[in-house]
A = this chain, B = another copy of it.
Amino acid sequence: MPRRGLMPKDRQKGDVSLEEKVMIFVVMASEMFKKNSTAIFGQHGLTFSHYNVLKYLVACEGGRDTAGNVGKRMLVTGANVTGLAKRMEKAGLIERKNDEKDERLTMLQITPVGRKSLDAIREIQEQHISEYMQTCSKEQQEELLSVLKRILRKGKQLAGSKY
């Protein structure tokens, strides 16, 4: 029987390689974390995306950045940011206004309400995350982070210049 590609001879067609298992579990762990986080954020009127935008903005100079940069960070297209930003503005979490120097730019700025929402969530989310991380040592966390960073960088490479 002919063998194709890189499949080890002890792995059958229907089996799943270690490599694929790793990526499957990256995705499943992520999905589970997102769902549990969304449940927490929802109690404070935020979606997972809302939280991440706020979390990013609050770390920016003046609590503001361009729509484009937010999109890059969130790994989504510009059209997406428009809708997301509008919903967040309607919820009072951010403000949108054009940059004074470059009128093409839409600046997104976190509002006091947005900061308050983040504050309300901070402790419980830290606790939530700690639950997951209790399953591994600090050293394992460091290594996990290092590997994930390399995986993400590779992903960006593969995606080209989209993000």
Contact = CB atoms under 8 A, between A and B. Distances in A.
A128 B123 CA distance: 38
Contacts of A16: 59
Contacts of A29: 26, 30, 148, 151-152, 155
B6 A145 contact: no
A13 B142 CA distance: 21
Interface in A135-163: 135-136, 138, 140-145, 147-156, 158-159, 163
B155 A33 contact: yes
B20 A129 contact: yes
Nearest to A138: B18
Contacts of A83: none
Contacts of A147: 135-136, 140, 144
A4 interface: yes
Interface string A3-23: 011110000001011111111
Contact of A126 (B6, B132, B141): B6
